[in-house]
Structure 1
Amino acid sequence: MADYITRQPSERPVIVVGNITISLKVLQEEFHRDVTRFQAILDQLSVTAEDAYRMGFMQQTIKRLAATAAMDMAARAYSLTVPDELLVRAVSRNPAFQDTAGRFDRTLFRHTVAAQGKSEDVYLRDLRQQLLRVQVSDSVINAVTVPATLLERFKQHRYEKRVAEIVILPITEAPVLHSPDYTILEKFYRENTTIFATPEYRTFSAILLTGSTLAPFVSITEEVIQKACDDARLTLRMPEMRTVEHVLLTNHAHVETILRFIRQGWSLVQAARETMHQVTSLRYLNRAEIEKIEPTLAKAVFTAAMDTVKGPIQSAFGWHILRVVDIIPAGVASLGFMRDQIKEELIAEKTRDVVYELSGKIEDAINGGASLEEAAQQVDLPVQVFTSVDRFGLGKDRQTIANLPLIRAFLQKIFKLQTGIISVMTESKNGSFVVRIDATIPSMIPSLQDIQKDVVNQWKITQNRESARQKAEGVAERLRNSILLRDINDNVHTHAADTSSTTSVLQTFVRNDIDSPLSTTFITRLFGLTVGETAVDETAEVFTVGRLQSIIAPSVDESAIVNMKQEMTRQYAEDIFTQFAAAMGREFNLIINQRMLDGP
């Protein structure tokens, strides 16, 4: 894949639509342009160019280019034109070319177009072509009407409420106090040996091209910053921008755990740390830019209230939980803000250049036979040594290893290498790294005699869970037999050692109710029940039993209905336009040369 991204591009067409051809070189340039446009956000989400390729960015680039070519062919076939008056109106009404009073400013227009690296003629030619495509697409999108039956079904799905009788049974309730005899313990140990295996540990040496090691190589003078500010003075109009605390999760069980901690009053940072996840700061997010990567995430970020945790939001990256910590309203950017942002951009650009240069020198040295230490010495960088690290970045004392870089690909790479092997230079968030495995301590299963106390504790945990499971199934059976909730509550408390932690409640909720203590999986199951039916849910800490008592029909104000209709119309229009673009591709004989895409 990396070979595909970087190999010498061909001038032969990889996409053909009618008499419009797109070469592999143009496709690669557009792919890299797409990735570069979103690089700041992708970096903060720990997504590399190769990750973007695997996640389908290349296919999105292909679809975009093919659809654009199909629109151009359709415009020709239908003999569409853009009058000069329409072109002038589009330019004069563009806020990017208007002064603070909202009037068209020709000087601002010239500077803005020049900043894009275009002449006025090229800009106007491209704009005319864009307007032609808009004519084609609008003829499809503006005719879209969402069927009333579909709107009604969507309203029922989104706003219908459910009332359920809920019994929550903590697994720690009624703990098993006695220890098993040795025969039972030995049987449990043999049946669960993998639970007691020690982690595999690795000792390794690394050259890290990250923030602290690169600092001596990255410096931006005040003169450079001031010149960049002067060049940007005429384009100070800024959209609303937001900064958020954000954690990305790939395991839904961790989502539930973090949300539970937050409901208990923990901060997002504390809750994430408890599940060994890092909260990153996504700074100065622009809605238009992030929508092009993940519209669902963009909507969540720009509708969230200040200082309120929102999530989980599911996307192609995983599940997101976030908190808005700063909002900069749309308007004219202050010189102070502009200077800070420009300085950050210059440092990021300089850092990328330094990483590229040092990576090449290190690779050349190693390929020429130098050791890791010799290669580091040639570029005046330290070799950092990390001793006895497991797959989660913990040492033998189960504490986080100091100074271990917070790079997702780092530990993944380390545990794929053989001892003594030096890795290739690997690109990742905030830089790159090359690593050598110095020693490996394989995973092992200790003898029962060595870990008897741990085995006893694990046996008790298992018995506690099984006891709670049986209690939950008993509660569910009584609910199915129409026993009243208060009677079940009395019965549960009568048989519980710790009644303070058992809760029985009548709860009303909606789909995707992030404020509910119930798991999203359990809520989804309850929405699949008919009145009187029961469901049982199990998490790491509790069993939850629920009986659906009633269904409340949607009661929604008019503004919510209008917003819902607008959202559905947009989504419906996007679907129809996708089908239309595909039909245009068939009409004009769209050809995608997959052999070139899969080539060496």
Structure 2
Amino acid sequence: MLSLFRRLAKSWIATALFAVLIASFALWGIGSDMVRSLFQGDDALARVGGEPIPLEEAQAATRREMRRIAAQLGPRFQDDPAVRRAIATQALEQLIAQRSLLAEARRLGIVVPESAVRDAVFAMPGLQGSDGRFSRAILEAALRQYDLTEAQFITLVRADIARQQLLGGVRSGGIGPDALTHPLLAWARERRSADVVELALLDAPEPPPPDEAALRRFHENNPERFSAPEYRQAVVAALTPDSVAAEVQVPDADIAAAYERRRGEFESGERRQIDQALVDSEEKARAIAAAWRGGADFAAIERQAAEAGGTALHLGALDRDGLPVPALADAAFAAPEGGVTDPVQSPFGWHVLRVAKIEPPASRPLEAVRDEIRRDLQAERAIDLSYRRANEIEDALAGGATLEEVARRFGLATATVTTDATGRDAAGAAVTLPVPQPQREATLRAIFAAGQGAAPQFTETPDGFVGVEVRQVTPAALRPFAEIEDQVRRAWLADARRRSQEERAAALLGAVRGGRPLPEAAREAGLRADRLGPFGRQPDPQAPASQPQPPPELLAPLFEAKVGDPTMVETRAGFAVAQLATIERFDPASDPLALGRLRGEVEQAMADDLETQYAAALRRRAEVRVNQRLLDSLAGPAN
């Protein structure tokens, strides 16, 4: 669920809900507080400042984290004990982080109002329906999929808003001093030139034709290049909410009841289009109010406010909660349309507000949203039905039915395929699986995780359920020489050309190290050296054709070299030998814009470091204790 809501929000709402696995370990430092003896008889997995983290909560978090990482890694994901242990630890650390931050927020008196939580949830892009409005059905489906109650989700959102408030002040301390930014910019903008000789494989002399014995040795010594992959023949069956949606009927009474429960989604309070002028004295504010009431347009008010040392701006359409100072909200919502308020003082100065337009409360009646609610309920109940159907299918499989029998009985989409781990058949064509495209990678993983002859597995995926029964496994094997002799010959010739060019490049490098300039050594070897540059540390795709750049593989060694030093690298086209010719230093003061951009990046990095240190300090203050015995059980094979 943590990964889901980051994907849903695509904003700061979900930033703290999950972190990269390694970053979490670096941030929180698990290990030192795995205190075993303190937990005899304690059924809490961990305690943060004395507050327990129940085992059940961590189990649910671990399942969510497993799904997230499996979705990220795709076929590379390996569900073994070490991975489960790392994921269980990561899930626990996220819960500890949340508890530590909330404890500090409570200590500082930070309170997140219900309106802020509601607005944050309603604003999540991934929770919007086809009409661009918040969809409760999408939220409820996601909660079921990721083992969260609505209360738990709201707690996560509230905690993240509190975290943003808490860490905002900490991050503001990040600065980019000149002592750091100037050397960094000078380093980044340094440019160099070099003499370069490129030896392309295409230019290598043609090697003598190999005999059959040489080809057979090459074939046997390079099995990874000439082997067929493992293939598996499997029956695949799929169950998705969409496949059972047609069976779901939604009575009108249920639609009416849902409308009443969700009435708040279909109603909006009064909103007002508000313009504001803000100055530092009551006298100036009264002069602006008088001018506004006298018919001055906004441009004139903007000029008058600027002359008074203040500002004027359009605040846009706001409800009462959108005005942070109660006195401002009272004044704005007491004025008529077109009215101008008396000056109102706040900690920011003196405000004058003009109500440009009043948007009255709006409500969409049941008939206007009936189809939307019907679709939401149908989608929600289709998910429920798919879960019930999946349980029935698992019972049938446990009773000895084959996957094909179950598929026929329950009307599942099914196919028998022979595929490699990438989803291709022996001819190299993509196999057709009876699953939605997002489910394809998970299905291939299931096929290659199952054992031949094992009982059929019917498991949950992010997009539904998939069943797999492996009928035959064809192991990876070296293809017979006779079948691929031409392929082996081409590979042998390519390898011979590569060795030839590598030997010529090595000889050239040796000559330069022996004291010969590269252009001279290249001429004697029948090669050409080109003076390239100046160039930067990174490849420049915008460089004009008149200024050829060195191969990208040369850049790092050339920027580590001293003038006159030679180097040799393998490139995508062959090999290259280079000798550093010149170094052009950069004056950071010559480009203040670049210096400003770099300063911003440095400040961002320093703010991240401050946040990391602050989070670690909160964790220490919370006196975290972890029940090692329960953590071991959480990370065990049963989980």
TM over 0.5: yes
Deviation of 1:341 after TM superposition, in Å, equals 12
For the structure 1 residues 455 and 567, does the alpha-carbon distance in structure 2 shift closer, same or farther, using more than 3 Å as the test? closer
Is structure 2 residue 51 aligned with structure 1 residue 20? yes
Measure, in 1, the Cα distance between the counterparts of 2:561 and 2:97.
43
Measure, in 2, the Cα distance between the counterparts of 1:45 and 1:150.
37
For the structure 1 residues 505 and 44, does the alpha-carbon distance in structure 2 shift closer, same or farther, using more than 3 Å as the test? same
- SS of equivalent to 1:425: strand
For the structure 1 residues 368 and 195, does the alpha-carbon distance in structure 2 shift closer, same or farther, using more than 3 Å as the test? same
For the structure 1 residues 487 and 404, does the alpha-carbon distance in structure 2 shift closer, same or farther, using more than 3 Å as the test? farther
Say whether the 8 Å CA contact 2:245–2:379 is kept in structure 1.
Answer: no
For the structure 1 residues 554 and 150, does the alpha-carbon distance in structure 2 shift closer, same or farther, using more than 3 Å as the test? same
Say whether the 8 Å CA contact 2:415–2:434 is kept in structure 1.
Answer: no
For the structure 1 residues 181 and 527, does the alpha-carbon distance in structure 2 shift closer, same or farther, using more than 3 Å as the test? same
Say whether the 8 Å CA contact 1:207–1:376 is kept in structure 2.
Answer: yes
2:211 matched residue in structure 1: 181
Spell out the pairing of 1:287-306 with structure 2 (5 A cutoff).
none
Q: Which runs of 5+ in 1 are unaligned?
A: 1-9, 100-110, 237-334, 495-501
2:311 matched residue in structure 1: none
For the structure 1 residues 359 and 135, does the alpha-carbon distance in structure 2 shift closer, same or farther, using more than 3 Å as the test? closer
Is structure 2 residue 526 aligned with structure 1 residue 508? no
Specify which of 617, 621, 633 is matched with residue 583 of structure 1.
Answer: 617
Amino acid in the other structure paired with 1:371: T
For the structure 1 residues 190 and 135, does the alpha-carbon distance in structure 2 shift closer, same or farther, using more than 3 Å as the test? closer
Deviation of 1:369 after TM superposition, in Å, equals 0.8
Is structure 2 residue 560 aligned with structure 1 residue 533? no
Q: How many residues align?
A: 457
Spell out the pairing of 1:62-77 with structure 2 (5 A cutoff).
62-74=92-104
Specify which of 330, 347, 361 is matched with residue 392 of structure 2.
Answer: 361
1:396 matched residue in structure 2: 426
Deviation of 1:348 after TM superposition, in Å, equals 7.8
Measure, in 1, the Cα distance between the counterparts of 2:577 and 2:626.
53
For the structure 1 residues 378 and 555, does the alpha-carbon distance in structure 2 shift closer, same or farther, using more than 3 Å as the test? farther
Say whether the 8 Å CA contact 1:167–1:546 is kept in structure 2.
Answer: yes
Measure, in 2, the Cα distance between the counterparts of 1:577 and 1:351.
43
Amino acid in the other structure paired with 2:498: R
The farther-off stretch of 503-512 and 394-403 is 503-512
1:455 matched residue in structure 2: 488
Specify which of 200, 206, 209 is matched with residue 230 of structure 2.
Answer: 200
Specify which of 169, 175, 179 is matched with residue 199 of structure 2.
Answer: 169
- SS of equivalent to 2:450: coil
Q: What is the alpha-carbon root mean square deviation over aligned residues?
A: 5.6
Say whether the 8 Å CA contact 2:46–2:624 is kept in structure 1.
Answer: yes
Deviation of 1:461 after TM superposition, in Å, equals 1.7
2:629 matched residue in structure 1: 595
Say whether the 8 Å CA contact 1:12–1:23 is kept in structure 2.
Answer: yes
Measure, in 1, the Cα distance between the counterparts of 2:428 and 2:401.
35
Is structure 2 residue 442 aligned with structure 1 residue 384? no
Deviation of 1:345 after TM superposition, in Å, equals 8.9
Q: Which runs of 5+ in 2 are unaligned?
A: 1-40, 124-134, 144-151, 270-363, 544-548, 635-639
Max Rg structure: 2
Q: Percent of aligned positions with the same letter in both sequences?
A: 25
- SS of equivalent to 1:510: coil
Say whether the 8 Å CA contact 2:563–2:583 is kept in structure 1.
Answer: yes
For the structure 1 residues 91 and 146, does the alpha-carbon distance in structure 2 shift closer, same or farther, using more than 3 Å as the test? farther
Measure, in 1, the Cα distance between the counterparts of 2:538 and 2:530.
22
Spell out the pairing of 1:111-260 with structure 2 (5 A cutoff).
137=167, 140-146=170-176, 148-174=178-204, 176=206, 178-209=208-239, 232=265
For the structure 1 residues 469 and 512, does the alpha-carbon distance in structure 2 shift closer, same or farther, using more than 3 Å as the test? same
- SS of equivalent to 2:536: strand
For the structure 1 residues 437 and 22, does the alpha-carbon distance in structure 2 shift closer, same or farther, using more than 3 Å as the test? closer
Measure, in 2, the Cα distance between the counterparts of 1:511 and 1:220.
60
Measure, in 2, the Cα distance between the counterparts of 1:98 and 1:187.
66
Say whether the 8 Å CA contact 1:48–1:429 is kept in structure 2.
Answer: no
1:568 matched residue in structure 2: 602
- SS of equivalent to 1:473: helix
- SS of equivalent to 1:599: helix
Q: TM-score, normalised by structure 1?
A: 0.58
Spell out the pairing of 1:46-57 with structure 2 (5 A cutoff).
46=74
For the structure 1 residues 74 and 456, does the alpha-carbon distance in structure 2 shift closer, same or farther, using more than 3 Å as the test? closer
Q: Deviations over 1:70-107 (max 9, x none)?
A: 3455567xx6446xxx989x9799987999xxxxxxxx
2:313 matched residue in structure 1: none
Deviation of 1:68 after TM superposition, in Å, equals 4.3
Say whether the 8 Å CA contact 1:163–1:509 is kept in structure 2.
Answer: no
Deviation of 1:380 after TM superposition, in Å, equals 0.5
Q: Deviations over 1:265-285 (max 9, x none)?
A: xxxxxxxxxxxxxxxxxxxxx
Measure, in 2, the Cα distance between the counterparts of 1:44 and 1:204.
25
Q: TM-score, normalised by structure 2?
A: 0.55
Measure, in 2, the Cα distance between the counterparts of 1:35 and 1:409.
13
Measure, in 1, the Cα distance between the counterparts of 2:480 and 2:389.
48
Deviation of 1:194 after TM superposition, in Å, equals 4.7
